Amino acid sequence: MPGARISGISSRSPAARADLEVGDELVRVNGREPTDVIEYQQLVDGDHVALEIRRAGEGTTRTVAITKGPGEPLGLSIDSAVFDRIRTCDNHCSFCFIYQLPKGMRRSLYVKDDDFRLSFLYGNYTTLTRFTEFDLERVVEERLSPLFVSIHTTNPALRAEMLRNPRGATSLRWLHELLRSGIEVHGQVVVCPGVNDGVELERTLEDVVTSYPQLASLALVPVGVSDFSLEETMRPHRRDEARQVVELAQRYDEISRTVLGRSLVYASDEFYLVAGLAPPRAAALATLDLAENGIGMVAAFRDSFERHRAMPRLGSGFFQSVDGAPAWGYRAARAALSGPASGDPLTDGPLTHDGVVVLTGEYAAPLLRELLDEHGFDEVAVVPVVNAYFGGNIKVAGLLTGRDLAAALARVDPSATCLIPDVCLNEGRFLDGTTLEDLGRPVTCVRTTGHDLRVTLESLRAPHDVLVVS
């Protein structure tokens, strides 16, 4: 990492009144060298801030003193969250999706992190195999909560085998210490058929309820297998296997509600869909806050659409409020939206085309079709986009690529208004590196919430001719 550099200065902020420029390197803050944006936030929280900066092209440093109100944001955006070095993952998990990416994609997509700081800031999952006593002390002292931990199995030998790292057998001791210290932790199990399911999964669930009852949640998610996987033991779940996982999750959730007085174990919506079951409705879930992990995502979308209200922003509260935390990685800014935001009208006014088409992933398409029909939007066409780029069992909207969308758009009437979800874009690019301009025709990018889709459709509503999608 190149250190902390200023990427933006808010107008009318304390920083805007100082001699600072975009591109300046922050060498020290109040005499200390911050290692990440968390420490930076703590250092700039006081009334008086002394920034030692180095300007591009200058070898010397100088100090800029700033006075501001108590708790007032300094007004600087920093170009990275970690200033020293991202703690990369030294596991070699057989189910790791990064190993299943084709060659030639953006370099950043191949970075595997196992950094507790990114878990806190962005919700990344950490295996704790690189966690240390010093890290525990910092997390507890600074109350860096919540954290997100990849458990996968509580069988030490199997965990070491799945992570292909001997420390996988012992690193869950840190989970005990985090929970004992009152840190909120969300756990995850990537369920791989024939590996950590069945009897092994039941053992893990028993151990979670008895040994880790302080966990805020445990999410069971299916392994993703692309056509580029070289692992012979990795394969998608069959319908009956997915149904068994759902049944186990429901059984142990009932046990946790009886023993602990609250829900603890959740199966992802994808497991329900693979099993041929309807995902739970909002009323059946204890929380919709796990939607980003695929838990209750369908319920949250449906609830947002039906109640005509905005869904809450996903992610940790600290990330949303921290001064200077950059929106990078999978939380990076989406494409510039053509659709509405939180009920605002379309910037260019209502569109009046001969038809409206919503393009989405294969999992979401039938659910969206049902939802639209229930609420009288039967004139809107829904096109499931086949993910030929990754292949395998990759059918979620968030992994759609520009080339697959372009192929689907080529089959849609040229006069139609086409909507795509913003979740498949990161900083204006699809995973294959293409952009909206590469799709070959105009599209409207809509925030991936039921509320925003409904507002968009109602803004576009006009008498339509019959729309034919080949």
pLDDT at 352: 34
Per-residue burial over 153-190, b = 16 or more CB atoms within 10 Å of its CB, e = otherwise:
bbbeebbbbbbebebbbebbebbeebbeeebbbbbbbb
Q: What is the pLDDT along the chain (470 residues), one digit of tens a residue?
A: 557 899 899 988 999 999 999 999 999 999 999 999 999 988 998 899 999 999 988 888 999 999 998 778 899 988 888 888 888 888 898 888 888 888 877 777 777 888 999 999 888 899 999 999 999 999 999 999 999 999 999 999 999 999 999 999 999 999 999 999 999 999 999 999 999 999 999 999 999 999 999 999 999 999 988 888 888 888 999 999 999 999 999 999 999 999 999 999 999 999 999 999 988 887 677 765 666 667 878 888 888 898 876 665 444 434 444 566 666 554 555 554 444 333 333 333 333 345 899 999 999 999 999 999 999 999 999 999 999 999 988 898 888 999 999 999 999 988 899 999 988 888 788 988 899 999 989 999 998 889 999 999 998 875 544 444 43
Question: Which of 78, 108, 138 is the last residue before a domain boundary?
Answer: 78
Which tokens hold the place of 261?
């007085």
| CATH number of the domain residue 50 falls in | 2.30.42.10
382 and 299 in a single domain? The answer is no
63 and 105 in a single domain? The answer is no
175 and 277 in a single domain? The answer is yes
| CATH number of the domain residue 308 falls in | 3.20.20
294 and 148 in a single domain? The answer is yes
From the DSSP assignment, how many helices (H) and strands (E) are in the chain?
13, 13
Using CA atoms, how far apart are residues 299 and 290, in angstroms rounded to an integer? Answer: 11
Cis preceding-peptide flag for 146 (omega within 30 of 0) = yes
133 and 266 in a single domain? The answer is yes
For residues 189 and 238, is the Cβ–Cβ distance under 8 A? Answer: no
Residue 450 falls within a domain, yes or no?
yes
3-state secondary structure of 126: strand
208 and 348 in a single domain? The answer is no
Residues sharing a CB contact under 8 Å with residue 336, sequence separation 6 or more, in sequence order:
428, 445
Beta pairing partners, 36:
82
Residue with tokens 């995902």: 279
Residue 87 falls within a domain, yes or no?
no
Question: Which of 295, 321, 347 is the last residue before a domain boundary?
Answer: 321
265 and 339 in a single domain? The answer is no
Residue 470 falls within a domain, yes or no?
no
145 and 52 in a single domain? The answer is no
Parent domain of 35 = 4-78
Q: Is 463 exposed, middle or buried (0-12, 13-18, 19+ CB in 10 A)?
A: exposed
Residue 242 falls within a domain, yes or no?
yes
32 and 120 in a single domain? The answer is no
Which residue, among 309, 247, 289, 326, has the nearest Cα to 449 in the 3D structure? Answer: 309
Question: Which of 255, 289, 321 is the last residue before a domain boundary?
Answer: 321
193 and 149 in a single domain? The answer is yes
316 and 338 in a single domain? The answer is no
pLDDT at 130: 94
pLDDT at 240: 96
Residue 326 falls within a domain, yes or no?
no
Residue 328 falls within a domain, yes or no?
no
How many domains is the chain partitioned into structurally?
Answer: 3
Residue 254 falls within a domain, yes or no?
yes
| CATH number of the domain residue 344 falls in | 3.40.50
Residue 468 falls within a domain, yes or no?
no
41 and 120 in a single domain? The answer is no
Using CA atoms, how far apart are residues 196 and 173, in angstroms rounded to an integer? Answer: 20
pTM over 0.85, yes/no: no
pLDDT at 321: 47
